[in-house]
Structure 1
Amino acid sequence: MFRVQSPRGFFRLCHHITKRNAIVIAAAVRTPAPTAIKEEKLAGLVVDELVKRTLCPREEFKKLFMCASSQCSSELEGMGKELGLKSCQTFKLQKDICSAGAVRMALQSLQNEDPQCIITGDSRCQGLKLPPEGLLASEVMSEIKPVVRRKKGDDKENEEVPAPVEAAALAWTTYENADRLQLQPLAVVLEFVIEENDVKTRYKIDRTEPIIAKAVHNWQFVTIAEKDASPGQIPRLPADIIAQLEPHQIGIHEAQHTTASHLLTHLVHSLPTGHLGCAVIETLDGNRLVLVLEKLYTELPPGHVLPILTLYTKEPCPLCDDLVAQLEDKFAGQFELKKVFIDKKENVRYLRLFRHDIPVLFFNGQFLCMHRLNEDALTERLAAFKNDMEASQMD
């Protein structure tokens, strides 16, 4: 891996990872904008949609690390059980400013414990800055209506409006576990480095060629100092690496205005297929987390040339019929449609996930939308699929 400087001495440990136990991001989602809703309520909504996006049975989730503001109530600790994650331990973190600690604990758990699915998430009341290029339709969850709490006997003038909140969450597991559960992950973690208490530990997938700086398509840095606000002042990154990068490849964020959950969610959705992204996250205590991700291809079955849309439905379902009519009217000839009837005995796994959410639509095995057709998300995915096909023909 490329060198990343550290101002302190450290003892370096390197662990080699096989492809089977490599860590993958199965799904990632965030809210589209700050919403006036109780923080623990919004966190629950985001985690619930995340679980559905993975296609993973709820009993497979073993740990939930949720970073919350100091205003968030103790109700958050019981969120996993309320969402039907009966085997899931919930850990509430409040001093983890950028939620890097939650990601670190998830990565270490997946390397040191039995195969499992882990959720990391973040809900914050302070304003978080959006990426300059804006959000993708694929990364944001359904629109959420603000909630207004009224005390008994109060009129509209005395409404209690919750502070605006944002939330994001990611689902992590291993490549082997994703294969067992027939999941289609978004990205694989090629390497990650944890710097903690003067010890630097590196985990990497066994591969013959090292990762070089020029091969990384997108760099995202989270800093703790306002002075680190330009590419020439990126902390701990050697000048020879900086010189190889274009300004549009670099994003620099202050820890107070982003979280690891929001940053990684946008990174995995915005990366072009087959490209690498690197996130470098510093913490207030001087520690650091570095992740190198690769956006994964979704392979089509032999003989297929169009993307496969999988519709989770049942009979009757008027909303599903409306969605299919929209697809045929606006996207005819651009996809193949496969229907999965969740009320059939062999599909009970999907019934438990989507009982109240159909129609639910997946694009080549990855979540696209539910309740109604998200035309913007489908347009994004079709364009990305076309680019992938053109690139493969040039190779």
Structure 2
Amino acid sequence: MMLTFLYCSLRLVRNVSSCSKGIFIASSVRTPIAQPGLSRAELGGLVIDTVVKRAAVPHKQIHELYIDNACLFDEKIVAEAAEFGNLSKSTHCQLNNTALTSAMEALSVDNENCSANKHDVIIAGSIVSVNNTNFASIKLCQGQELNIGISKQIIDDYVNRSKSLYLRGKSNGAFDGEMVPIRMQHLREQKLIIHDDIEHDFTDLNYKGAAAVVLTNFEGSKRLELKPLALLLGYTYVEASKKDILFAPLLAALQTLEEAGINRNEVDMWEVDTYDPLIPLALIKKLGVDSDKVNIHGAIIGSPLMSIIHLVTHVTHSLKPGQIGCAAALHGEYGAIAVLIRQCNYNIQQTVPVLTLFTKDPCPLCDVMIEELETEFNGEYILEKIYITEKENVRFLRLYRHDIPVLFLNGQHLCWHKLNKRLLRKKLNEIINI
């Protein structure tokens, strides 16, 4: 009854299913939520440059860049972020109210025309900061506990559990694959920020974060010989009335599942906005979703800095091959976005996992990585080497000249600079258990 009522009260603005168009996430990254000592444009440039490299896409092949305008800044920052991210001057840069869904639609609409013009690789990004965040939605959520039958004790327990899960996930490497470390000068030393500051003061204007995804269609994936991380099954943007804002992510998720023909029980992971703990609790209560599948690695409760692109990035890196995940978040003043994805599974095509090492001769760091692989993972993989200085590999020379050694597993980025043993072990175990 409650869900029926909410369907009637929500105003559906956008609802486009991407399942028939074959839209893929080629790569996705985010920075920690922290005080990075970088401008918003520099932070955006960092995730743009990194997400392009991890997709193994030449920078000049990025034809469009959409940056979310949920944080209320101007077009100049988008252009500066593109420049810091080493994109071509011909890349069309756009500040957009719904960057992720707009980028998806750009790939969905007139697919034949996109293919003909090679406009088949697009970045959607989000640059968030406390001093530019719209707090209207969180204020509307406050005080609605009794309206949905959730006690203060349940809320407190959920907050404590989320923090515990987050700390456990951080210690177990749950965020290794998605995170872009931030290097900053601290006094006379360089400081490396690799984790979110979960104790940050949400009123401190210095806190920022950024996230980005590279989206492509089947044509772009084939043309550039990519191995995408995930397939988009559907997405929805809704706008709600003020009194129903708490339920907007829930309804956006329901609508997305319905359009994609996916039962809620088929979803292996839900990553839900924790701008207010009532949002995930409402989803658990009203949909009857297993709470162990919701925000499985916890969350930064109360932070306004986790955009839908941040959540999609975490889902993309957390799902196991073949699994389905749903990300849902408040967006803007009265809106919400939900995105449904399925993790791609290439491992069934490989009898033995293939590690691809981008290297050159000489490369002492590459030699160290090879030695570590032989010592700790002997017999578990096939190693292929791509020498970036050879004429036919100029694409990779332009991408990785300052980053080698760069290691891919079954065609997808794993790590660079040094071997991430924990992440490689996790990925190899997933392959074994398929």
TM-score range, shorter chain: 0.7 to 0.9
Candidates 256, 266, 275, aligned match of 1:215? 266
Pick the aligned partner of 1:91 from 89, 94, 114: 94
Cα pair 1:136 1:377 within 8 Å, conserved: no
Change (3 A) 1:84 1:285: closer
Match of residue 321 from structure 1: 367
- The answer to whether structure 1 residue 297 and structure 2 residue 345 are counterparts is yes
Asked if 1:30 is matched to 2:30, the reply is yes
Q: State yes or no: 1:194 paired with 2:237.
A: yes
Give the one of 64, 81, 85 matched to 1:79: 81
Tell me, yes or no, if structure 1 residue 363 matches structure 2 residue 409: yes
Cα 1:339/1:63, change in 2 over 3 Å? same
State how far apart, in whole Å, the 2-side matches of 1:88 and 1:125 are.
25
User: Amino acid of the residue matched to residue 136 of structure 1?
Assistant: F
Letter in 2 for 1:217: D
Show the counterpart of 2:150. none
Question: Distance in 1 between the 2:10 and 2:358 partners?
Answer: 54
Confirm or deny: 8 A CA contact 1:64 1:119 kept in the other structure: yes
Which residue in the other structure is 1:110 paired with? 107
Distance 2:19 2:67 in 1: 29
- Which structure shows the bigger proportion of residues in strand conformation? 1
Residue 136 (structure 1) aligned to one of 165, 175, 198: 175
Per the alignment, residue 425 of structure 2 pairs with 379
Higher alpha-carbon deviation: 286-295 or 180-189: 286-295
State the partner residue of 1:169.
212
1:136 Cα deviation after fit? 2.5
- Count of residues in Structure 1 that have an aligned counterpart in Structure 2: 355
What is the rounded CA distance, in whole Å, between the counterparts of 1:306 and 1:35 in structure 2?
A: 42
- Output the CA distance in 2 between the equivalents of 1:32 and 1:286: 26
Structure 2 CA distance for aligned equivalents of residues 145 and 82 of structure 1 = 15
Confirm or deny: 8 A CA contact 1:313 1:341 kept in the other structure. Answer: yes
More helix by share: 2
TM score, norm. by length of structure 2:
0.71
Distance 1:227 1:318 in 2: 49
Q: Would the aligned equivalents of 2:47 and 2:85 in 1 still touch at CA under 8 Å?
A: no
**Corresponding residue for 1:63?**
64
Q: Call closer, same or farther: CA 1:193–1:317 in 2, change over 3 Å.
A: same
SS of 1:147's equivalent in the other structure is: strand
**Structure 2 counterpart of 1:352:** 398
Structure 2 segments unaligned to the other structure (5+ residues): 134-161, 189-204, 242-251
Cα distance between partner residues in 2 of 1:267 and 1:56: 22
Output the CA distance in 1 between the equivalents of 2:232 and 2:218. Answer: 10
Q: Secondary structure at the match of 1:258?
A: coil
> SS of the counterpart of 1:256?
coil
| CA offset digits 1:162-198 (Å, max 9, x no partner) | 9343222111111332122111111111122233599
Q: Deviations over 1:89-112 (max 9, x none)?
A: 22346xx6xxxx111221121112
- 2:124 counterpart residue number: 120
Instruction: Report how far residue 73 of structure 1 moved.
Output: 10
CA distance in 2, matches of 1:336, 1:205: 42
The unaligned stretches of length 5 or more in structure 1 are: 151-161, 389-395
Mapped contact 2:64–2:91 kept (Cα < 8 A): yes
**1: CA distance, partners of 2:337 / 2:238:** 6
How many Å apart are 1:221 and its aligned residue? 2.6
Q: Distance in 1 between matches of 2:236 and 2:351?
A: 39
Query: How much identity, in percent, do the aligned residues show?
Result: 29
Distance 1:109 1:324, change over 3 A: same
Q: Distance in 1 between matches of 2:95 and 2:12?
A: 31
| Separation of aligned partners in 2, 1:51 and 1:306 | 27
1:335-384: per-residue Cα shift (whole Å, max 9, x none)? 11000111111111111111211111001110011111111221221122
TM-score for the superposition, normalised by structure 1: 0.78
SS at match of 2:185: coil
58-67 or 188-197: bigger deviation? 188-197
The CA distance in 1 between the partners of 2:184 and 2:233, in whole Å, is 39
Residues 191-246 of structure 1, C-alpha deviations (whole Å, 9 max, x = no match): 22233599x9x889998xx311110111223376x472553x23xx994x32xx21
Q: Could you tell me which amino acid in structure 2 is paired with residue 326 of structure 1?
A: E
CA contact (8 A) 2:280 2:294 kept: no
Alpha-carbon distance in structure 2 between the residues aligned to 1:32 and 1:121: 15
In structure 2, distance between residues paired with 1:53 and 1:381: 16
SS in 1 for 2:176: coil
RMSD: 3.6
Alpha-carbon spacing, 1:329–1:259, altered in 2? closer, same or farther (3 Å): same
Q: By how many angstroms is 1:27 displaced?
A: 0.4
* Cα offset, 1:328, TM superposition: 0.6
Contact 1:63 1:88 in 2 (8 A): yes
